[in-house]
Amino acid sequence: MDLKQHLEFVSVDLNDPRWEVPPGYPGGFTQLILASDIDETAKRGSRTRLLRLAPGAFSTVPFVHDHWEEVFLFQGDLVVGCDDKGHGGQASHAFTYACRPPGVHHGPFSSVAGCLLYEIHYYETSGSK
């Protein structure tokens, strides 16, 4: 497994062509990986990314994963708990934060005007509780 790359204040271009739809996500959700050595099969490592929801984007089912997730909403609006048509739920706005342990169901999500999230995903290391 490769270790995360050492990066020292590199420019982040929000128009970078590497934005992609994350596996298992609907259209309108795109990510830009900033740094990662995560290995979800071996359950180790971490990932830092930007996640962007386009205006009107929504998911239809809750997400659940086996790693920790920290999320900082720093631009726009994010609605948590919408229905399968993207309606309803509880709106949050910049600047809000979430920290989720493994196994927590969260979502579905939508965004009225679009949003930009900073996320860190990581597996707990042995010996930490």
Q: What CATH number should be reported for the domain holding residue 110?
A: 2.60.120.10
Identify the DSSP state of 4.
P
Max Cα–Cα distance, the chain, nearest Å: 43
Q: Is residue 83 domain-resident?
A: yes
Q: Is residue 128 domain-resident?
A: no
Q: Is residue 20 domain-resident?
A: no
Give yes or no for a cis peptide into 95 (omega within 30° of 0).
yes
Mean of pLDDT values over 103-122: 97
Examine the pLDDT at 1 and tell me if it is beyond 80: no
In percent, the amount of the chain with pLDDT more than 70 equals 95
Please answer whether residues 77 and 112 qualify as being in contact, where contact means their C-beta atoms are separated by less than 8 angstroms: yes
User: Rounded to whole angstroms, how far apart are CA atoms 44 and 67?
Assistant: 9
Q: Is residue 81 domain-resident?
A: yes
E strands, 3-111, where? Answer: 29-36, 46-53, 68-80, 90-93, 96-100, 109-110
Summarised one tens digit per residue, pLDDT across range 2-19 is: 688 899 999 999 999 999
